[in-house]
Amino acid sequence: MSKKQLLLISNSRQAGYPYLGHASTPIKEFLGKKVKEVLFVPFAGVVISYDNYSMMARKAFEELGYQLVSMHEVSDPVEAVSKAQAIVIGGGNTFHLLKQLYDSDLLKSIRDAVESGVHYVGWSAGANVAGPTIKTTNDMPVVWPPSLDALSLVPFQINPHYHDDVHPGFTGETREERITEYTFLHKNSYVVGLREGTMLEVQGSSTRLIGEKPARIFVHGKPPAEYNAQDSLDFLSVVKP
């Protein structure tokens, strides 16, 4: 039986809330009382310094009752992962994040930790890297990682910040059209479009949506489908990437 526990959040900033404020209750319910400290991975930050990024995340988690240690502050990142009670990966640029994970030799250690039951929280880029690849990110490849293969903590792809907006006068491809291109070329892959303010909680083989907006799920050969918080998403746990 799978021990994996993940909370995959579309966004960190929501109008009317402080940083991560819209996700504070789900994060606290997810981490519970046994977790006292989280290991934060700031590697998706590019313009923001890791010190400033970790300071921002630390404030949010300390307000929830959790201590935070940032990966860039430890002398042995692999050892830190092996001792972590929970791993938290923030958003930013997904390519930069994945390259730093490869350069720090952290993919296997994070994967092993989460598969053994260590809690994983990721938002935006941190949600992207939980899937098999980062091929459904919205980001530009400002750097190039050794591979686009990611953590494979879940068997489906994620597209954070998914939206249906089309601005007047815009004639380029929509987000739906871009994801449809992906599923056309990767016919066995499911892509979950996570709208702002929503998140996926994975507990073993169970997957559920949290939030007021529906998720839009894509797979080749079927029209995109909308799923709400009351709908079962357990089928995503058994798809083959």
Classified as helix, coil or strand, 23 is helix
- The three-state secondary structure class of 121 is strand
CA distance 4 to 87: 12
Ranges of the chain with pLDDT below 70 = 1, 166-167, 170-171, 241
Q: Is 127 helix (H, G, I), strand (E, B) or coil?
A: helix
Whole-number pLDDT of residue 168: 77
Q: What is the pLDDT of residue 31?
A: 98
What does the pLDDT look like over 80-122, one tens digit per residue?
999 999 999 999 999 999 999 999 999 999 999 999 999 999 9
Which residues form the catalytic set?
Answer: 124, 139, 161
Q: Return the pLDDT at 228.
A: 98
Token pair recorded at residue 23? 């996700």
Given a contact cutoff of 8 angstroms between Cβ atoms, the answer to whether 110 and 101 are in contact is yes
pTM: 0.95
Return the domain boundaries, the chain: 5-238
Both tokens assigned to 199 = 């998140």
Contacts of 196 (CB under 8 A, 6+ apart): 10, 11, 14, 161, 163, 213
Q: What is the pLDDT of residue 166?
A: 67
How many other CB atoms are found less than 10 A from the CB of residue 152? 15
Burial 117-129 (b: 16+ CB within 10 A, else e): ebbbbbbbbbbbb
Q: Which fold is adopted by the domain 5-238? A: Rossmann fold (3.40.50)
Q: What is the reported pLDDT for 170?
A: 67
For the chain, the distance separating the N- and C-terminal CA atoms, rounded to the nearest angstrom, is 19
Report pLDDT for 2. 77
CB within 8 Å of 108: residues ≥ 6 apart: none
